[in-house]
Structure 1
Amino acid sequence: MAVYRLLPGLLVLCLGAILARAIELTAGFNHLLVAIALGFVLANGLGIPSRLEPGLATHKLWLGAGIVLMGASLTLNTILEAGAVVLFVVVLVTGLTIALVELLSRNVFGLADRLGSLLAAGAGICGVSAVVAVAGAIRAREGQIAYAAATVLLFDAATIVVYPIVGDLLGLSDVVFGIWAGVSMFSTGPVVAVGFARSELAGQWATMTKLARNALIGVVVLGYASYYARTGEGARPSVRTLWDEFPKFVLGFLALVVLASAGVFSPAQRASIENAYSWLFVLAFVGLGTEIRLAGLRNTGLLPVIVVLLSLLVGSTLSLLLLALLF
């Protein structure tokens, strides 16, 4: 794609990021949440001309780049302090969420098997990215993919608002709030947004927890592909397919953590990197806001929403109880 096609949308992202920062300075609202709101208003109020779409679509790239750079502000000691605990909570809650969504979809609400599997992957791992990854492995129909993706996006929009409110009402510490958001919210963008909207520490823990969860995508894709292949209704995944679905920015994040732990970055360099990933996140969240389309959310079926809502309530409650016992 020619660079010039990206420029109009990139310009909108930059202007939105600058405006979000300015609103925070003048009105006191958190700039990350303002950035999402600006993107939402643009998409649902003014509308997005086709010439802006290629540049706006780069917001996932800026989010991944910001997460990679965030690794420079952490050390291995910080991660290892609660690494085993976080991994335990991530695996337990993820497994429970997937199992519960499958159970409710198939045995309670009578949804199609593939739709239930897409909902389980989206709620259990990493939102729409997991829906798309699993869809290719189980040969889901386009209508099922659309329903599952719209349902996930609905909860992404809701949890961006609800989680900070619940966190304040319960008086959660920054570490507990960050882990809770990372282990129970769906998509990476909203997790990072609510984490850093609370504090730098909450944002770091939210991101690290979510990355641990995202890393399970290969296991989930392999599991679903194997299950449906045994029934003669799916495709057997190759190593190349699993590598393609793995979130590469996890590796970049870990690489910078290792470099930071080795003392490669000076305090001035770390400050510059922190400023850089802060701006990258604002750019990404303006673009994230444009993906929350009211028209698409209105078309979401009621039964998928009920299934995912029940799993979210169970998963978020269980993770809060576990974190209360462990921290």
Structure 2
Amino acid sequence: MGVRRLLPGFVALCVGAVVARSLARVVGVNHLLVAIALGVVVTNAVGFPDELEPGVATHKLWLGTGIVLMGASISTATVLEVGGPVFLVVIAITGSTLAVVELLARNVFGLSERLGTLLAAGASICGVSAVVAVAGAVRAREEEVAYAAATVLLFDAITIVVYPIVGDLLDLSGAVFGTWAGVSMFSTGPAVAVGFAYSDVAGQWATMTKLSRNALIGVVVLGYASYYAGSGDGTTASVRTLWAEFPKFVLGFLALAALSSLGVFSSAQQASIENAYNWLFLLAFVGLGTEIRLADVRNTGVVPAFVVLLALLVGSLLSLTILSLLF
């Protein structure tokens, strides 16, 4: 894709980032949440010209790049200190959320098998990205993919607002709040956004925890592909497919975290890197806001939304209880 095609939308993201930071100083709200809100308002009230869409769509690239750079400011000693127990929490909540959605969708509310699978993947792993990845592995219909994606985006919009409020009401520590957001919110962007909106510590923990969940996407895709292959529809998942769906920015994040632990970066360099990833997050979250289209959210079916709501409540309450005891 040519630079000329991407440039107008990229410039729009830059303008949005500057406006969001300026507005945040005026209204006293975290600049990342203002960036998301700005994207939501523009895309729903005004809309984007077609020529801006390719550049605006690069927001996922800026989010991934920002996460990679954030690895330079992570203390691996802190991660190792409580990393094992937290990873067990990630496994437990991911597995329980997936199981609850599948159970409710198939056995209680009578949703189709594949729609239940897409909802389970989106709620338990990494939102719309997981929906799309699993859809290819199980050969889901386009309308099922759209339905599941819209349901996930609905709860992304809700949790962006609700989680910081709950964190303040319960006076959660940065580590507890960030890990809670990372282990129970659906999509990477909203989890990182509310984490950093709460505190820098919360943002780091939200990112690390969410990345560990995202890394499970290969296992989930392979598991579902094997299940549906066993049902006789010929579905398969190759190693190439799994690698294509694996969130590779996880590897970059880990590489920079390892270099940081070796003392490669000076304090000045770390400060520059932190400033860089803060601006990249601003770009990413303006773009993220443009994906939340209220018309699509209104068209989300009541039953799929209720299924996902129940799973979110179970995962959220269970993880918050465990983490409050752990930290």
| Distance apart, 1:296 and its partner CA | 0.7
DSSP 3-state at the match of 1:145 = helix
Are 2:175 and 1:175 equivalent residues in the alignment? Answer: yes
DSSP 3-state at the match of 1:231 = helix
CA–CA distance in structure 2, aligned partners of residues 211 and 47 of structure 1 = 31
CA–CA distance in structure 1, aligned partners of residues 176 and 162 of structure 2 = 16
Structure 2 counterpart of 1:299? 299
CA–CA distance in structure 2, aligned partners of residues 105 and 285 of structure 1 = 31
| Distance apart, 1:212 and its partner CA | 0.4
Structure 2 counterpart of 1:15? 15
Are 2:213 and 1:213 equivalent residues in the alignment? Answer: yes
CA–CA distance in structure 1, aligned partners of residues 320 and 234 of structure 2 = 36
Are 2:116 and 1:153 equivalent residues in the alignment? Answer: no
When normalised by structure 1's length, the TM-score is: 0.99
| Distance apart, 1:171 and its partner CA | 1.1
CA–CA distance in structure 2, aligned partners of residues 28 and 135 of structure 1 = 41
| Distance apart, 1:25 and its partner CA | 2.1
Structure 1 counterpart of 2:42? 42
Greater displacement, 287-296 / 72-81: 72-81
Are 2:72 and 1:72 equivalent residues in the alignment? Answer: yes
Structure 2 counterpart of 1:326? 326
CA–CA distance in structure 1, aligned partners of residues 52 and 201 of structure 2 = 34
What do residues 162-218 of structure 1 show as CA deviations (whole Å, max 9, x unaligned)? 000011111111100000000000000000000000111000000000000000000
| Distance apart, 1:76 and its partner CA | 1.8
CA–CA distance in structure 1, aligned partners of residues 306 and 207 of structure 2 = 27
CA–CA distance in structure 2, aligned partners of residues 33 and 295 of structure 1 = 21
Are 2:284 and 1:289 equivalent residues in the alignment? Answer: no
CA–CA distance in structure 1, aligned partners of residues 323 and 62 of structure 2 = 31
1:14-163 paired onto structure 2 within 5 Å:
14-163=14-163
CA–CA distance in structure 1, aligned partners of residues 312 and 279 of structure 2 = 31
CA–CA distance in structure 1, aligned partners of residues 233 and 176 of structure 2 = 41
| Distance apart, 1:26 and its partner CA | 2.5
Are 2:200 and 1:194 equivalent residues in the alignment? Answer: no
Q: Which letter does structure 2 place at the counterpart of 1:197?
A: A
CA–CA distance in structure 2, aligned partners of residues 260 and 241 of structure 1 = 32
Are 2:3 and 1:6 equivalent residues in the alignment? Answer: no
Greater displacement, 102-111 / 235-244: 235-244
| Distance apart, 1:17 and its partner CA | 0.4
DSSP 3-state at the match of 1:82 = helix
1:203-282 paired onto structure 2 within 5 Å:
203-282=203-282
Using the aligned pairs only, state the percent identity.
Answer: 74
Mark the runs of 5 or more structure 2 residues left unpaired by the alignment.
none
Aligned length in residues: 327
DSSP 3-state at the match of 2:172 = coil
CA–CA distance in structure 2, aligned partners of residues 75 and 171 of structure 1 = 24
What do residues 261-284 of structure 1 show as CA deviations (whole Å, max 9, x unaligned)? 010000000000000000000000
CA–CA distance in structure 2, aligned partners of residues 197 and 188 of structure 1 = 14
CA–CA distance in structure 2, aligned partners of residues 74 and 298 of structure 1 = 39
Q: Which letter does structure 2 place at the counterpart of 1:159?
A: T
| Distance apart, 1:75 and its partner CA | 2.8
| Distance apart, 1:234 and its partner CA | 4.8
CA–CA distance in structure 2, aligned partners of residues 174 and 211 of structure 1 = 17
Q: Which letter does structure 2 place at the counterpart of 1:286?
A: V
| Distance apart, 1:78 and its partner CA | 1.9
Structure 1 115/234 Cα, relative in aligned 2: closer, same or farther at 3 Å?
farther
Tell whether the 8 Å contact from 1:73 to 1:274 is kept in structure 2 after alignment.
Answer: yes
Greater displacement, 110-119 / 19-28: 19-28
When normalised by structure 2's length, the TM-score is: 0.99
